[in-house]
Amino acid sequence: TSLPTPQPTPLPTQQPTPLPSMTPTHSPTVTYDPTSGTSKPTGPPTPSPTPRPSSPPSGLPIHIPSSPAPSQIPSPLPSSHPTPSPTPLPQPGLLLSASSIPLLVSEDGQLHTAFNVALETEPLSVVTVSFVSRFGGLAFEPASVDFDYTNYGAAVAVGVFGVDDFVDQGFSHDDAVLAFVTSVDSLEECIQADRPVCGQAAKYANFSKGFQTSINAEIIDDDMAGFEFSSRSVNATYDNFGDPLKSGILWIRLTSQPKGNVVVRLDGLGPFTNTTPPSLMITPENWMNPERFAIKASAPTKSRPFCGNGKRFCPIVTSRMESVVTLGLSSDAYYNGLGSDISVSVNVTIVRDATDPPVVVSSSLSNVLNSLEIQFNMAIQFATS
């Protein structure tokens, strides 16, 4: 018996929906199975299409979650045409220069020097630069210099000289040149000069506020602390009785101006010689004025008359030589404890009477006992200077 020939199942007329992101590498093959009477595809399995998100039912609102706000504002993209920076205004500046620093000068004028001064930038109006000494030991020529827009960069030489004072400050002492700048910063002055850059000119009015422009200097000193005497030797006398007769006069003054009062006394005298006054006070104001010492001498014994027999001559040595030096006490370090390099000789001698002292010849009371009569052997004469 022959089996009926099965008819193949017709292929669906509708093509499957293609995958959204994948295209098959080859078309599928359909094979008929006579046992089951069905047809099935053969070959590589067709990948399942990626499920699409279902659309919300119509009429319902659509919720789109909002993105979180950024924590920082993003930097703008650089422009292809950057904004040009504004031109900075010129700053004032002062130039001080010298071939050697510190500047070296002397009080006696044998050493002097110079420095140069100029402005760094064009000023708005006239600028005056003035010079002073920090401690007063320097002098300048000229004492000030003027600059304007025509010469601000041209260096000007300023001479520096030591001031000859009278104070001993050692071999040398320090000082400094201080430069001060003044200007009115007048825009009107600039415009009247028909200058094209008034808006770009430097302002110098406040340049010297808050700081100083300076150059250090060293000054060779020509003063020396010491004592000056009117004489290297004085004479003092005493009489036959032993008391001072004529004083030796010594004038003394300082060789330099002290920074404080100086007490001066004479040292080296013996016990029977003294000075009037015992000491002198010399001030910085009167240091050039000579001061007077009177040196008084007496007989070298406390006995009076110093010759016990009352005669003009006795074995006691009557002449002697002494020497005296000065000693200073002061707040000025150069005078405190300073002694003189030289000493002054004091020659002490006796001035004898012309004759021996008178001798009592007789003495008696009057009859009424109310008077005493004394008779000497000669007229009384006393020693004179």
pLDDT tens, position by position, 269-313? 999 999 999 999 999 999 999 999 999 999 998 888 888 766 778
Written as six digits, the tokens of 20 are 């959204």
Average pLDDT over residues 18-29: 50
pLDDT score for 63: 46
Instruction: Count Cβ atoms below 10 Å from residue 4 Cβ, excluding itself.
Output: 6
pLDDT band at 193 (very low <50, low <70, confident <90, very high): confident
- pLDDT over 90 (residue 347): yes
Report helix, strand or coil for 218.
strand
Average pLDDT over residues 231-258: 95
Would strands 213-220 and 291-297 be described as parallel, antiparallel, or unpaired? unpaired
Would strands 360-365 and 127-133 be described as parallel, antiparallel, or unpaired? unpaired
Rg (CA), the chain: 60
Instruction: Among 82-86, 238-242, 287-291, 331-335, name the one with the lowest average pLDDT.
Output: 82-86
CA contacts within 13 A on the Cβ side of 67: 3
Instruction: Count Cβ atoms below 10 Å from residue 99 Cβ, excluding itself.
Output: 9
Average pLDDT over residues 205-217: 82
- pLDDT over 50 (residue 2): no
Average pLDDT over residues 125-138: 95
- Name the percent of the chain lying above pLDDT 70: 73
Task: Enumerate the β-bridge partners of residue 248.
Answer: 295
| φ, ψ dihedrals at 198, nearest 5° | -60, -35
Instruction: With CA atoms as reference, report the closest residue to 105 among 220, 216, 222.
Output: 220
pTM: 0.64
pLDDT score for 264: 96
Cα–Cα distance for residue pair 96/215, rounded to 1 Å: 8
Instruction: Among 7-16, 193-202, 211-220, 358-367, name the one with the lowest average pLDDT.
Output: 7-16
Burial 11-31 (b: 16+ CB within 10 A, else e): eeeeeeeeeeeeeeeeeeeee
Length of the chain measured in residues: 385
Instruction: With CA atoms as reference, report the closest residue to 300 among 332, 333, 271, 260.
Output: 271
Q: Which tens digit of pLDDT belongs to each residue from 142-166?
A: 999 999 999 999 999 999 999 999 9
Cα–Cα distance for residue pair 177/104, rounded to 1 Å: 12
User: What value does the mean pLDDT of the chain take?
Assistant: 81
Cα–Cα distance for residue pair 122/207, rounded to 1 Å: 14
